[in-house]
A and B are shown apart, each in its own frame.
Chain A
Amino acid sequence: EDQVTQSPEALRLQEGESSSLNCSYTVSGLRGLFWYRQDPGKGPEFLFTLYSAGEEKEKERLKATLTKKESFLHITAPKPEDSATYLCAGISGGYQKVTFGIGTKLQVIP
């Protein structure tokens, strides 16, 4: 069975304190990996798609990287507005099915 595991489940950072979130996956026929951000009471908001090992993508203070077994979301000098749940998901089956991890709830304290 396809599985996506995220760690840690919760992370508390001081403003400016950089860190990384981990996503390990076992998804047969993996075609790509999504990262989403989810705010309370809202649906997941797309951040990145990574397709091959070694690929990196950046958006503001976020950088996502992919290896053959895991992906990392690096947060550089986070701000309180970066507080959210970050979801990792694997795409398989002709992009028709997405397997989500449980998410990492990030809290950035001023």
Chain B
Amino acid sequence: EAGVTQFPSHSVIEKGQTVTLRCDPISGHDNLYWYRRVMGKEIKFLLHFVKESKQDESGMPNNRFLAERTGGTYSTLKVQPAELEDSGVYFCASSQVPGGYTFGSGTRLTVV
């Protein structure tokens, strides 16, 4: 079984630019989650999709972040425009039932 795949693994962008992160969940997993770890802090919840619908987006920092999940398959997280404080590791996780997560390896985003 293929795991959760995230692209790219690393991204370095300038402040003000746009970046799009992608997550391919495990096939058949209806639940998809985005988390973020800022250096020195805990991993924090961003949002939860059930199929293509946003179940909970209470962790999204602000309206510069936009998450989508096309047809209930892969998901994208766009940051526009990026700010320095957006730097961190963005993790995606998926599960067949809520809570039984499998995480991807993460995308390390650096905003300079």
Binding partners A and B = yes
Q: Interface residues, chain A, CB within 8 Å of chain B? A: 4, 31-32, 34, 36, 41-46, 49, 87, 89, 91, 93-103
Instruction: Identify the closest chain A residue to B45 (Cβ).
Output: A97
Q: Interface residues, chain B, CB within 8 Å of chain A? A: 4, 33, 35, 41-45, 48, 55-56, 58-59, 91, 93, 97-106
Q: CA of A7 to CA of B72 in the docked complex: distance in angstroms?
A: 39
Q: Are A43 and B106 in contact (CB under 8 A)?
A: yes
- In the complex, which residues of chain B have a beta carbon less than 8 angstroms from the beta carbon of A49? 99-100
Q: Are A41 and B105 in contact (CB under 8 A)?
A: yes
For A97, give its contact among B56, B91, B97, B100 (CB under 8 Å). Answer: B56
Q: Are A44 and B103 in contact (CB under 8 A)?
A: yes
Q: Are A43 and B4 in contact (CB under 8 A)?
A: yes
- In the complex, which residues of chain A have a beta carbon less than 8 angstroms from the beta carbon of B103? 36, 43-45
Q: Are A102 and B56 in contact (CB under 8 A)?
A: no
